[in-house]
Amino acid sequence: MTGHPAGTPIKGTTRLYAVLGDPIAQVQAPALMNPLFAQLQMDAVLVPVHARPENLEQIVRGLQHVENLDGMFVTVPHKVAVRRLADRCGPTVDIVGSANVLRREPDGSWLAENFDGSGFVAGLVGAGHDPRGRRVALVGAGGAGSAVAAALLTAGVDRLSVYDTDTSKLGALVARLGTYWPGRVSALTGPQLRDIDIAVNSTPLGMRPDDPLPFPLSALPPGSVVADIVMKPRETRLLREAAALGHPVHHGIHMLEGQLNSYRVFFDLR
């Protein structure tokens, strides 16, 4: 396994982590976490698990009974559904309604937390696109989008506009966020993004070559930043076309890179 400590075979003492998704081929977590395990000289490995939605509960329940499995990472489309499979939830999960990691506790119970949003904001700031005081539009109110929305508000955006084709999901998210950040978040009736500084795609659109754009680029103000949370391919159609129009672009991999320190603390990786 790439990233496992050099010269050390996976053996009976190896601690296991799994990343769950559907599809799974695009996940980047093993490429970041396994080298981290190697760097820390930990006898641990993260493996991808293809979990279809109809099998998610059965798979998670099975993994929770694997005694040498210490944690799970969760990606599309399971971040909302996996929340109810944890015994306890961290404060971010309660706010955004989704989780992207589960940790086995010393008593055998499972704690869910979500670092998508904080990782995304850390990546933005690191790339020189600090969202504080900016006008931001976010397309996609799913598990990752909810976390990104809350983190952007925490980071001090002046105004956050959100759009999703699922109007009930959109309304629920805006209402939930509004209780924590009154007057700073609103729902959009369509994906036309105007009068903003940063546009964010938090939908899965872009993972496949024939995906449509999550939002049209024609209405964006010149110089506005276009950010994507899709990690593979690195250069999504959205980012390619935005760059061709002269917009600064921000790649999805930065969201995962921004979470590494949070993962180290959450999983107590020494």
Contacts of 24 (CB under 8 A, 6+ apart): 48, 49, 50, 51, 75
Peptide bond before residue 48 is cis, with ω within 30 degrees of 0: no
Tokens of 218: 């024609």
79 catalytic? Reply is: yes
Calpha distance 117→53 (Å, rounded):
23
3-state secondary structure of 34: helix
Tokens of 168: 């009930």
Peptide bond before residue 77 is cis, with ω within 30 degrees of 0: yes
In the set 11, 79, 169, 232, the catalytic residue is 79
Type of residue numbered 7: G
Residues classed as catalytic: 79
